[in-house]
Amino acid sequence: MSLLPDATSLLLDGMSLLPDGVSLPSDGLLAYLPDLGQGLLVTLQLTAASFLGAAVLGVLVTALRVAPVRVLRALGTAYVETFQNLPLLVLLVLAIFGLPEIGIQGDIKLTVIVVIAVYEAAYIGEALRSGVNAVSKGQGEAARAIGLTFTQSMRHVILPQALRTVIQPLGNIFIATTMNTALAAAVSVVDLTGAANRVNLVEAQPIPIFVGAGAAYALIAAAAGFVTGRLERRLVILR
């Protein structure tokens, strides 16, 4: 894929990823289960942390986009426009190599989490905004009529209803976040995709390795789908 000599050559020379004297069992792939499990853990960690961050940021972005002050609304729009229009991979590379040049250098995994959170927040912001718009006008008017301020009517009236209508879209964004964490592998984080790639480099059995990794992603997504389905049935407001 990229430059230069290729890895398999050395391996084929009889080297192993394990220290000398340790040989792999014949059912080679099973020996890598701990590595893949570790990768899966990292994927889960990246997904959970970045989705949480994205949810918080996304609420803020939505608030900005419906705020009373024009500058804030413009800020919210600019945020969404910027991050929905840049490929995540470009953002990741820029953040990891560019930010240290302006004096901000964090742990790579942390940087990846923040970047994915910032990126997905644009999508969550859009989903929430359409949810807010779906809340009927009378709700906002009623909230204002009983004397709630903007913040209060958002917090107690609009957002709780908006959140319910966007459970399904949020579930989809969660799944997208899970899949997007795979890009972390391109910037040295050994997540599930990274681990699968490294195992494949040694064992050269791409079908079982990548199908297995794909199944793990599908499982995470299925779990997310199950949870959002339950949530939706429980919380949905029929109108």
Partner 1 sequence: MLMKKMVAAVAVAVSAMSALAACGDASSPAVPGAAKPSDDVLAQAPVAAAADILPGSTMEKIKQRGELIVGGSLDAPLLSQQNPATGQVEGFDADLGKALAKYIIGEPKVKIVNSASETREALLSNGTVDVVFQTYTITKERADQVAFAGPYYTSGLTIAVKKGTTGITKPEDLNGKKVLAGANTPAIPAIKKLAPQAEILTFGSDPECLQALKQDRGVAYVQDETLLIADAKKDPSIEIVTKPFTVDPYGIGLKHGDDQMKAFTNAWLKKIQDTGVWQKVWKNSIGTVVTGDAPQPPQIGSVPGS
Partner 2 sequence: MSTTLFDEPGPRARRHIRVATVAGTLAAIALAVLAVRQFAANGQLDAARWQPYATWPMWRYLLTGLWSTALAAVVSAALAMAFGLVLALGRLSHQAWLRRPAAAYVEVVRTIPALLLVYVVLFALPRYGLDLPLFWKLVVPLSVSNAAAFAEIFRAGINSVERGQTEAGLAVGLTRGQAMRLVVLPQAARRVLPSIVSQSVGLLKDTSLGFVVSYAELLYSGKVLAAYNGLLIQTYVVVALIYLVVNASLSKLARVLESRPALYARRSARA
Give, to the nearest 10 degrees, the angle between helix 167-180 and helix 33-65.
130
Site string for partner 1, 69-98 (x = CB under 8 A): ------------------------x---x-
Identify which of 152, 121, 149, 129 has the alpha carbon closest to the alpha carbon of residue 65: 129
- Rounded-to-integer distance, Cα 161 and Cα 208, Å: 44
Instruction: Give the HSE-up count for residue 74: Cα atoms under 13 Å, Cβ half-sphere.
Output: 3
CB distance 192 to 36 below 8 Å = yes
Give the binding range for partner 1 (CB under 8 A) out of 5-13, 136-144, 163-171, 229-237: 5-13
Q: Which residue has the tokens 């190599």?
A: 97
Binding at 7: pick from partner 2, partner 1, none (beta carbon under 5-8 Å per type): partner 1
Position 3 contacts partner 1 (CB under 8 A)? yes
The least distance separating partner 1 from the CB of residue 108, rounded to whole angstroms, comes to: 7
Instruction: Tell me if 20 contacts partner 1 by CB under 8 A.
Output: yes
| Of residues 21 and 164, the one with the C-beta less far from partner 2 | 164
Task: State how far the Cα of 41 lies from the Cα of 23, in Å rounded to an integer.
Answer: 26
Check binding of 10 to partner 1 (CB under 8 A): yes
* Residues near partner 1 (CB under 8 A), total: 33
Residues that bind partner 2 (CB under 8 A): 1-3, 66, 68-69, 71, 81-82, 84-91, 93-94, 97-98, 101-103, 132-133, 135, 137, 140-141, 143-144, 150, 153-154, 158, 175, 178-180, 182-183, 185-186, 193, 196-197, 200, 204, 206-207, 210-211, 213-214, 217-218, 220-222, 225
Backbone angles phi, psi at 13, to 5 degrees: -70, 5
Q: Supply the minimum distance, in Å, between the C-beta of residue 99 and partner 1.
A: 10
Helices 70-84 & 33-65 angle (0-180, nearest 10): 150
Note whether 7 binds partner 1 by CB under 8 A: yes
Element (H, E) at 1: none
* SS3 category, 70: helix
Yes or no: say if 135 and 143 are a contact pair by the CB < 8 Å rule: no
Q: Which two tokens stand for residue 29?
A: 């792939």
108: partner contacted, choices partner 1, partner 2, none (Cβ within 5-8 A by kind): partner 1
Residues in contact with partner 1 by the rule CB under 8 A: 1-13, 15-20, 93, 97, 100, 105, 108, 186-188, 194, 197-198, 201-202, 206
